[in-house]
């Protein structure tokens, strides 16, 4: 019961923060366009960094909630919960990086550099919680550890490619 109250309070605080930002940021609110497509005509360069920051805060809160969950570990409350964490960050990054490839500018390049650093911080937070106390499969490497190693390889590849530009 205590854990449920703690998660409810954390979720309410996060929702309040996101709702304040989403009033003026089209990246943080549900789109009214068909099929939920982004409203590109409303997105401005200054919306990206706050949206990334809100997505990162949400992802961190979701990971912290998984780690703090006192229920018996299961696939649903550990692995599946990790899979669905960070949806806002994924959506914002998808929109941003696709637009940056198609129609970049100096402001977007600067945001990409700033986000890459904060993205590394999120990855560090994920790897800090690799043990997920009581939530490891007991085998040599849990699925979570394997996924993070794959992600680290991907990040290393991006870093190498960026260095070769």
Predicted confidence (pLDDT) per residue in 32-77, tens digit? 999 999 999 999 999 999 998 999 889 888 888 888 888 888 888 8
pLDDT at 106: 92
Closest residue by Cα to residue 83 from 64, 56, 59, 61: 59
Per-domain boundaries in the chain? 2-126
Query: From the CA atom positions of the chain, what is the Rg in Å?
Result: 17
Poorest-pLDDT segment among 4-13, 51-60, 101-110, 125-134: 4-13
Report how far Cα 125 is from the mean position of its chain's Cα atoms: 11
Residue whose pair of structure tokens reads 């979701």 in the numeric block: 62
Residue whose pair of structure tokens reads 């106390």 in the numeric block: 133
**Residue 151 scores a pLDDT above 80:** no
pLDDT grade for 19, boundaries at 50, 70 and 90: very low
pLDDT grade for 95, boundaries at 50, 70 and 90: very high
Rounded to whole angstroms, the Cα distance separating 98 from 101 reads: 5
Mean pLDDT of the chain: 74
Q: Which of 1-15, 78-92, 115-129 has the highest mean pLDDT?
A: 78-92
pLDDT tens readout for residues 110-131? 888 877 756 666 666 555 654 5
pLDDT at 2: 44
Rounded to whole angstroms, the Cα distance separating 113 from 49 reads: 10
Tokens for 60?
């961190």
Higher pLDDT, 35 or 9: 35
**Residue 139 scores a pLDDT above 50:** no
């Amino acid at each position: 019961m205590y854990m449920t109250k703690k998660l409810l309070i954390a979720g309410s605080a996060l929702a309040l923060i996101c709702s304040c930002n989403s009033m003026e940021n089209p990246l943080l609110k549900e789109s009214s366009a068909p099929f939920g497509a982004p409203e590109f005509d409303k997105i401005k360069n200054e919306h990206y960094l706050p949206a990334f920051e809100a997505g990162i805060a949400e992802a961190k809160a979701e990971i912290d909630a998984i780690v703090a969950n006192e229920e018996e570990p299961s696939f649903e409350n550990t692995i599946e919960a990790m899979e669905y964490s960070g949806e806002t960050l994924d959506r914002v990054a998808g929109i941003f990086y696709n637009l940056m490839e198609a129609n970049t500018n100096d402001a977007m390049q600067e945001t990409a550099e700033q986000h890459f650093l904060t993205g590394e911080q999120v990855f560090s937070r994920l790897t800090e919680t690799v043990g997920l106390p009581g939530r490891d499969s007991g085998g040599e490497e849990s699925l979570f550890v394997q996924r993070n190693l794959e992600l680290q390889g991907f990040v290393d590849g991006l870093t190498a490619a960026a260095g070769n530009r």
